[in-house]
């Protein structure tokens, strides 16, 4: 079976982005533009992916190489054909898919479909096209009697050619043999003095090779060149995700203002309010309610969880029927048991919080284990960070009542069924069933208030 490789062109500066970041590293709906393209080409079956880099080379290498992507340096930007040459296609697979790194709306489905057509046609070169009402600066597809004859760049086109609405999306599938043979024959005899990969089309045709231009979806042609186009691309992806979730039974009150990233899962019967971001590898079970302006990153939520307004979750694991917030903050390595409550202005970091336990108001729990059915009062703090700059654990058992405004100075353990009196500073272990009071005794001085105010 023939092998498929891919070359992604990303050496350009992206001048019109007016940003110091290399264009293809700008995020689109949460993921770098280039990573969407890479996901698409890998999803199409490309075993090897080479990205042609130039501007911002160091940053691109730092981002891409750990993902097993080979970066090829194009020394000078002399055009798209020169960029392809920089990838050394002679050492790649039998079939090579070439595309621009700045087309984030291309999916593996688009490319799979294209590759299927390429194989079906048994051609040397296939160019993917789209029909646009405003073909703008895209290369135009010139056909004679239905068959493609050439691609003419807008800058080199006559007024008549500019009328053509079928454009080059910049996606090509070509046999390595044809690419090797004709790439060397491309010369920079055009308006911009650049080596155009698009010249492959006419060169192949003149040599009698089979070339096909296949019409695809306009989304495939959508390239990002400006910040405005970047925002439009994100918008399109968030909208598409919202529509997919709605198909699958999720209620989304305002799909234009709900920001769920592509890999996120949300169970049916859930409701998403506007302004929420659900990111990364988050998985939400059925019947969740996510109120406005929640931020949920790489977190797993069971079923019937309520995430009230303004809550912030990172890498948290949440059981079933939990209520979080409003304004709860769950930091990494926090696990919340079934039917637990984490109320407003409660922060947890690296906490195992047992089923049916509650921390309803204004508390900080860090490096702690809390059993089941325990109540953490308002203003409770685990003092986990010691003067030696190390973190220590607080262990609180089940059915414990921790009175308001208490501090647990870790390392410390409070066994099951204990009660901690309000305002206590606990720095010694508390045995099961004990009442611990760690505060100074109150003194009442009769009539002292009057004297103090000087009213006799
Ligand atoms: C190119 C096509 C055009 C097509 C359009 C689709 C050519 C000559 N024209 O035009 O027909 O309609 O894409 O978007 O190919 N790049 C390099 N090195 C270079 C030049 C470009 O890596 O020397 C990269 C850029 O970073 C970019 C891509 O190639 O990702 C396309 O280059 P660009 O100059 O934007 O080509 P277009 O003018 O858009
Ligand atoms: Ca472009």
pLDDT, tens digit, 9 for 90 and up, residues 38-51: 999 999 999 999 99
In a domain, 319, yes or no: yes
Residue 420 — pLDDT band, cuts 50, 70, 90?
very high
For ligand 1, mutation pick of 33, 71, 100, 106 (most atoms within 8 Å of CB): 100
Residue 215 — pLDDT band, cuts 50, 70, 90?
very high
Average pLDDT estimate for 65-87: 96
Pairing mode, strands 358-370 and 166-175: unpaired
Q: Do 368 and 384 touch, CB atoms closer than 8 A?
A: yes
The token pair that represents 173 in the structure block? 């599938």
16 and 160 fall within a common domain: yes
156 and 253 fall within a common domain: no
Q: Cβ(129) to ligand 1 under 6 A?
A: no
186 and 202 fall within a common domain: yes
On the question of pLDDT at 456 being above 70, the answer is no
Q: Cβ(195) to ligand 1 under 6 A?
A: no
DSSP calls for 83-112:
HHHHT-GGGS-SEEEEEETT-TT--HHHHH
Residue 455 — pLDDT band, cuts 50, 70, 90?
confident
**Nearest-atom index, ligand 1, CA of 12:** 26
CA of 69 to the centre of ligand 2 (A): 22
Q: Cβ(8) to ligand 1 under 6 A?
A: no
CA of 197 to the centre of ligand 1 (A): 9
408 and 274 fall within a common domain: yes
> Could you read off the pLDDT of 186-207 as tens digits, one per residue?
999 888 899 999 999 999 999 9
Beta-carbon neighbour count of residue 30 at 10 Å?
21
Q: Ligand nearest 83 Cα, by number?
A: 1
Which residues surround the ion ligand 2 when the cut-off is CB under 5 Å?
Answer: 223
Q: What integer best gives the mean pLDDT of the chain?
A: 96
Average pLDDT estimate for 287-302: 98
134 and 266 fall within a common domain: no
Please name the residue whose Cα sits nearest to atom 13 of ligand 1.
170
Tokens 């790194």 found at: 101
For ligand 1, mutation pick of 16, 80, 183 (most atoms within 8 Å of CB): 80
200 and 251 fall within a common domain: no
Give CA separation, 322 vs 260, 305, 336, in Å.
21, 5, 8
CATH number at residue 351: 2.160.10.10
Average pLDDT estimate for 279-296: 98
Q: Cβ(9) to ligand 1 under 6 A?
A: yes
Residue 234 — pLDDT band, cuts 50, 70, 90?
very high
In a domain, 454, yes or no: no
Residue 454 — pLDDT band, cuts 50, 70, 90?
confident
List the beta bridge partners of residue 71.
51
List the beta bridge partners of residue 278.
260, 296
For ligand 1, mutation pick of 6, 7, 10, 12 (most atoms within 8 Å of CB): 12
216 and 239 fall within a common domain: no
Average pLDDT estimate for 104-133: 98
Owning domain of residue 298: 227-436
In a domain, 23, yes or no: yes
Residue 452 — pLDDT band, cuts 50, 70, 90?
confident
Share of the chain above pLDDT 90, in %: 96
Residues noted as catalytic: 361
276 and 213 fall within a common domain: no
Give CA separation, 275 vs 121, 258, 272, 330, in Å.
47, 5, 9, 19
CA 137 – CA 195 distance, rounded (Å): 17
Q: Cβ(151) to ligand 1 under 6 A?
A: yes
Evaluate the omega torsion of the peptide bond into residue 148 and state whether it is cis, within 30 degrees of 0: no
Pinpoint the alpha helices (H) of 163-274: 176-183, 199-206, 218-221, 227-247
Share of the chain above pLDDT 70, in %: 100
On the question of pLDDT at 31 being above 80, the answer is yes
> Could you read off the pLDDT of 355-407 as tens digits, one per residue?
999 999 999 999 999 999 999 999 999 999 989 999 999 999 999 999 999 99
CA of 223 to the centre of ligand 2 (A): 6
In a domain, 449, yes or no: no
Q: Quick one: pLDDT at residue 79?
A: 94
Q: Quick one: pLDDT at residue 12?
A: 87
Q: Quick one: pLDDT at residue 245?
A: 98
Q: How many domains does the chain have?
A: 2
CA of 100 to the centre of ligand 1 (A): 7
Average pLDDT estimate for 209-234: 96
CA of 79 to the centre of ligand 1 (A): 7
DSSP calls for 259-322:
EE-TT-EE-TT-EE-TT-EEETT-EE-TT-EE-TT-EEES-EE-SS-EE-TT-EEESEEE-SS-
CATH number at residue 77: 3.90.550.10
Q: Ligand nearest 139 Cα, by number?
A: 1
CA of 412 to the centre of ligand 2 (A): 61
Last residue of a domain, one of 179, 195, 221: 221
CA 26 – CA 56 distance, rounded (Å): 12
CA 141 – CA 111 distance, rounded (Å): 19
Tokens 């984030």 found at: 104
53 and 185 fall within a common domain: yes
């Amino acid at each position: 079976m023939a092998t498929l490789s891919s070359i992604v062109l990303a050496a350009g500066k992206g001048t019109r982005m007016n940003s110091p970041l290399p264009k293809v590293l700008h995020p689109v709906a949460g993921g770098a533009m280039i990573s969407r393209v890479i996901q698409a080409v890998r999803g199409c079956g490309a075993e090897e992916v080479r990205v042609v880099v130039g501007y911002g080379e160091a940053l691109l290498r730092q981002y891409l190489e750990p993902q097993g992507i080979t970066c090829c340096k194009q020394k000078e930007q002399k055009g798209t054909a020169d960029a392809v040459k920089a990838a050394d296609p002679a050492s790649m697979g039998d079939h090579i898919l070439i595309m621009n790194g700045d087309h984030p709306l291309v999916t593996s489905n688009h490319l799979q479909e294209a590759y299927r057509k390429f194989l079906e046609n048994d051609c040397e070169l296939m160019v993917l096209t789209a029909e646009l009402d405003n073909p703008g600066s895209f290369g135009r597809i010139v056909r004679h009697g239905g068959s493609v004859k050439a691609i003419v760049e807008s800058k080199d086109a006559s007024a008549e050619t500019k009328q053509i609405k079928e454009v080059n999306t910049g996606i090509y599938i070509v046999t390595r043999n044809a690419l090797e043979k004709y790439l060397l024959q491309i010369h920079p005899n055009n308006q911009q003095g650049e080596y155009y990969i698009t010249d492959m089309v006419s060169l192949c045709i003149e040599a009698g090779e089979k070339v096909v231009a296949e019409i695809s979806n306009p989304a495939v042609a959508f390239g990002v060149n400006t910040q405005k186009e970047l925002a439009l691309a994100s918008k399109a992806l968030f909208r598409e995700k919202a529509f997919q979730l709605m198909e699958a039974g999720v209620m989304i009150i305002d799909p234009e203002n709900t920001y769920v990233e592509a890999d996120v899962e949300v169970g049916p019967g859930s409701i998403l309010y506007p302004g929420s971001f659900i990111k990364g590898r988050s998985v939400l079970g059925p019947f969740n309610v996510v109120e406005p302006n929640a931020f949920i990153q790489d977190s797993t939520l069971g079923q019937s969880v309520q995430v009230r307004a303004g809550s912030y979750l990172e890498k948290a694991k949440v059981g079933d029927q939990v209520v979080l917030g409003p304004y709860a903050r769950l930091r990494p390595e926090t696990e919340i048991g079934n039917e637990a409550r984490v109320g407003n202005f409660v922060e947890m970091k690296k906490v195992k919080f047992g089923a049916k336990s509650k921390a309803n108001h204004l508390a900080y729990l860090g490096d702690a284990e809390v059993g089941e059915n325990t109540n953490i009062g308002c203003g409770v703090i685990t003092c986990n960070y010691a003067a030696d700059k190390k973190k220590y654990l607080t262990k609180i058992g089940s059915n414990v009542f921790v009175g308001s405004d208490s501090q647990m100075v870790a390392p410390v353990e409070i066994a099951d069924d204990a009660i901690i009196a309000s305002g206590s500073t606990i720095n010694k272990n508390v045995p099961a069933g004990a009442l611990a009071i760690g505060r100074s005794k109150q003194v009442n001085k009769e009539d002292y208030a009057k004297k103090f105010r000087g009213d006799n």
